[in-house]
Structure 1
């Protein structure tokens, strides 16, 4: 009852009688603060995470639009997490709210209408669908002409500006453009009251949306009047800042404190003073000597009475005498004493940690046995603070990964590594080729130089080869030789022979199966076949041309000089 009386008394603020109200609230503040803090803490702090892209309130109902692609179930969960429901579209909401919510958005948005039965029911209200509020009694329907009454029809509903806000059936697992939520409150605050306060109001709601054109707002909403920066919070009516210090620091710009009478007030850091127009913001105090210094952290009076800047523990003043910089506490060798400890500098302090390879045990840094986690492919040897991998005979450490091992021969011929269950499945190091003997398989070094891998000089090594270049050339990519530019100018026309091998060479290993760039057997066969076909085609064309020419000559022989045809049979004259 006292809480209600307390909030009713705050309506006097609308008439601008703040000073008179403060005197009357003192006796009731202690009784009402508990309820005030509890309710506003829930209203202001309950919404987090996904913010809406717009919204509006009508009396004690608020609606928000979320432009986030999701299915129906995810949209339902998002609304529920914010103590809301997917939107129920009543005739009034459909006529007034929906057009304003979706005015700047395109696409399809989920609403709180879905079908819980297997098939649509034409004899029931809403065709067998129901709202998330379990309300099936509404006679209002706004189905799109494409409504499907089949049992396999979609069970959820969307609306969009393209469909003129009609209800369109949509599969519940579809990811549409977004969704619409609605929230219900027992009370709200009208924004018309702010007209009497002066200034331009800017509203922010605990639902995540705001603006300067809202007609009403839910409890926990805050309005700031520009340009005075006066603030008010909504709780059944408008309360001017500073309100309870436990809610958003009482609306104060810097810090909120309470006196013995439990009356909140705002305070400012050194060099600043409370703005008398709004009693919450901080202005630079021109008469305060600290204000001219502009200290980053704090301003203190010196022994001579002159103010100076100071920094927090773990920081020191920078050269400008105002800003603060971190002190490297680890520069003191006495920090973090003890064996295998190290000092790690942090902002404003330091911390002690164990060296790499050690772990904290009973306040001591004890060596950690890295080999227990089997980091090596073959053998592991633990060392203080580290470990080392080694390989079995016939293997060496992989230069690209020291935890792994690769086959190694190191001579012209060695025994191959074979599968104990299949003696024909054998492996050789790179640069070697397997050769089967009577009772075993050996690995024989491949002479890569015989395959002309190098541009110039080549020296075969066990498992690889080494390329080299003549004087005046440089080895590139371990294989190619490129002429030096300076040698081109100096040696041009000299006629000197450059056959000296470059002593600086790089070994290059190649797998035994790797072949130099050349024509393959299949390619060679294809070339031969193409050549044969080409020759046959040429012969056929020649024969065809010669045959046609002979025929033309034969036809010409049968014709007389006058162009008439010559016949081999002559008419026989009569004896008469």
Structure 2
């Protein structure tokens, strides 16, 4: 199987190489009102004569005067020519007849000879008469012009020509430029610059011609070059806009970064607002530059759908949400992990937390701790929770030590079922620092207060005890008679006249 496959692949490669050589060898030359072309299509004289007319040419070439322009080195081989100047008098060749041909050898030596008409030669030469030809295009500056003529499905190079048939495409390009300078088509002895009418060869547009505007348009991601017919990779092709929700938009001066549909510019960034249109409670705020849905009191955002809200209860009992329909019994709803119960008077429906640990509905391997609406698993000393948060695996190595005490934690702390109720570590750290600062300030104030009191006490004097005229009284028990005598003596002294 290997040999035939390799052989077939070799034949296919040779065919492609021959096809490429055929395309490259389609050469033409025009001068005055005559055009000549070389076709490398092997065949006998009759096949060459028919192919020449089928290609839109009038007849085989008769004069070998212009063969030098067509049979350029390193081209070699033999090619059919017309037998007589009057091509119309020519009849199909029969066996035994000979027909004219021209042979090119190495060194560009051309020889006209006669060979059997039924022989297979390398190709043939054709010619036709021009009408309304164009002269050479006057290119601007140092631009060079490449001429191509495509009468049917052929493509002939006419670079060495002096005149050009209608329909010839002339492309002018400067040496250092990446894209052509201009593009023209020969029409009625004049050169029309692209884009011309869309009905004629697609207006000369590289991609597509718009009949509404008679102009060239380019596909998405590409821009129209200044020559107005060629398309090139635009500045957005390398995706310079890398921000969230940004997209590149081509402008006349280059590009600009804009926000995609569903994003709005805020503070120099593109923020997604599409989610706000889907929020169940129609509440939407921006968190850390991203819009997110939030819910009314008593609800929380569903962990399964960021646009939906579900009941949220952080206590053992919460009011149930009930829907009343006429005289039928109300339909009540509770959060996950809660069950509907009635108040003692059987009038108000409540949602009561289900103790999964007590009911045996938990899946914990060691211990279970109930939580509002859920539960969490704990492990015995020397164990920790596995990745499934239910099973316990032995703690190995340094993981047994907690806070450097060398003792194992009796109950490793699993993730809380209510992350929003856990105090972040940075808040705990801030609280400790705040308390420490407060205690330090109180200590400083107490120090200055005691110091001030000590200073004041050092200067304090009991002046009342140092008065020279102070009278000291002593209390003494007396009888009634004594009291009367003392009182009488005091009255007598006060009634005595003052002696001057």
Q: Same fold (TM over 0.5)?
A: no
TM-score range, shorter chain: 0.3 to 0.5
Q: Normalised by the size of structure 1, how large is the TM-score?
A: 0.29
Output the TM-score relative to the length of structure 2: 0.33
Q: Report 1 or 2 for greater relative contact order, CA contacts < 8 Å, sequence distance ≥ 6.
A: 1
